[in-house]
């Protein structure tokens, strides 16, 4: 059992700090609105069409904390939710690496929010905490998701392999990027 916790992504000279906080019921409408976006529909595996689906998705975020399989946070900037961020526990033998995932609302894109979250989570995962110690972290994205590929590159996640498409769940080939704990 892992208790939900809050993380802070430090401010930069040009951007406010980000708060990563556990889900709230008030996120339901935000999650529905965010998933209306074309990029969300194209690149995320689980479409969310209405409040019931958002409620079910948010309930799964609770389960992830409870069983320690995935830790997820709403990302807040200046008090507004601008995205969601998740750390997924390694799931052997499928993968021995801890994973990171993210989405941001369309209006907040291109400002470095997802990249800053990845950097902060990487530092946290490699930083000796007890929640989810990690030796290597993977970042998976569909080939063609250029924004996500750029985040991987910017954050020092090296392209490790190209994964075959596995329709219907994964209709596109994938990129597996890896970052290893510094020695
Ligand atoms: C991918 C996503 C999370 C990026 O969020 P973001 O907060 O805008 O990300 P950042 O600003 O930190 O970085 C995005 C980088 O990708 C670049 N980028 C975005 N779209 C691009 C494109 N089509 N081609 C090339 N580069 C692109 C941006 O220019 C930026 O790089 P830069 O800082 O060097 O200019 C956001 O677009 C999103 O939520 N997409 C839909 C859901 C999704 O794809 N989630 C990831 C699944 S693996």
- Give pLDDT tens digits for 40-85: 999 999 999 999 999 999 999 999 999 999 999 999 999 999 999 9
pLDDT confidence of residue 79: 97
Flag whether 135 is in a domain.
Answer: yes
pLDDT confidence of residue 80: 98
**CA 37 to ligand 1 center in whole angstroms:** 14
pLDDT confidence of residue 36: 98
Question: What is the residue with the minimal CA distance to atom 23 of ligand 1?
Answer: 146
pLDDT confidence of residue 173: 98
Mean pLDDT of the chain: 96
* Residue 110 Cβ < 6 Å to ligand 1: yes
* Residue 151 Cβ < 6 Å to ligand 1: yes
Flag whether 1 is in a domain.
Answer: no
Alpha-carbon distance of 106 to 163, in angstroms, equals: 27
pLDDT-derived band at 1, boundaries 50, 70, 90: low
Flag whether 50 is in a domain.
Answer: yes
pLDDT confidence of residue 3: 78
Instruction: Report the nearest atom of ligand 1 relative to the CA of 150.
Output: 16
pLDDT confidence of residue 131: 85
pLDDT confidence of residue 53: 98
Flag whether 23 is in a domain.
Answer: yes
| Cis bond before residue 168 (omega within 30° of 0) | yes
| Cα 151-60-129 angle, rounded to 5 deg | 60
- Ligand 1 pocket mutation, candidates 146, 147, 153, 155, criterion most atoms within 8 A of CB: 147
Flag whether 45 is in a domain.
Answer: yes
Flag whether 73 is in a domain.
Answer: yes
Pairing mode, strands 80-88 and 98-104: antiparallel
Q: Is the pLDDT of residue 8 over 90?
A: yes
Taking residues 74-98, what's their average pLDDT? 96
**CA 3 to ligand 1 center in whole angstroms:** 30
* Residue 145 Cβ < 6 Å to ligand 1: yes
Q: Quote the number of domains for the chain.
A: 1
Q: Which value, to the nearest 10 degrees, does the dihedral of the CA atoms of residues 108, 110, 113, 118 take?
A: 140
- Cα 132 from chain centre: 15
Flag whether 129 is in a domain.
Answer: yes
What 3-state class would DSSP assign to 91? strand
* Residue 106 Cβ < 6 Å to ligand 1: no
Report percent pLDDT > 90 for the chain: 93
Flag whether 55 is in a domain.
Answer: yes
H helices, E strands: number in the chain: 5, 8
Alpha-carbon distance of 14 to 158, in angstroms, equals: 27
* Residue 147 Cβ < 6 Å to ligand 1: yes
**Range(s) of the domain holding residue 72:** 7-180
What 3-state class would DSSP assign to 44? coil
pLDDT confidence of residue 81: 98
Q: Is the pLDDT of residue 149 over 60?
A: yes
pTM of this structure: 0.97
Pairing mode, strands 98-104 and 136-142: parallel
Query: CATH no. for residue 26?
Result: 3.40.630.30
**CA 19 to ligand 1 center in whole angstroms:** 19
Question: What is the residue with the minimal CA distance to atom 6 of ligand 1?
Answer: 109
Give the up-direction half-sphere exposure of residue 108: CA atoms within 13 A in the CB hemisphere: 22
pLDDT-derived band at 181, boundaries 50, 70, 90: very high
Alpha-carbon distance of 35 to 33, in angstroms, equals: 5
């Amino acid at each position: 059992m892992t208790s939900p916790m809050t993380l802070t992504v430090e401010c930069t000279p040009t951007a406010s700090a980000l708060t990563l906080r556990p889900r709230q019921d008030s996120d339901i409408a935000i999650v529905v609105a965010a998933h209306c976006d074309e990029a969300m529909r194209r690149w995320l595996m689980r479409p969310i069409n209405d409040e019931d689906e958002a409620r079910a998705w948010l309930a799964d975020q609770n389960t992830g904390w409870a069983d320690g399989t995935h830790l997820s946070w709403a990302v807040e900037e200046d008090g507004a939710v601008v995205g969601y961020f998740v750390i997924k526990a390694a799931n052997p033998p499928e993968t021995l690496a801890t994973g990171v995932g993210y989405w941001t609302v369309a209006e907040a894109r291109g400002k470095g929010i997802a990249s800053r979250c990845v950097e902060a989570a990487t530092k946290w995962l490699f930083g000796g905490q007890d929640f989810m110690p990690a030796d290597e972290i993977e970042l998976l994205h569909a080939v063609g998701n250029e924004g996500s590929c750029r985040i991987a590159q910017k954050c020092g996640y090296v392209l490790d392999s190209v994964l075959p498409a596995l329709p219907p769940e994964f209709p596109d080939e994938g990129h597996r990027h890896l970052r290893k704990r510094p020695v």
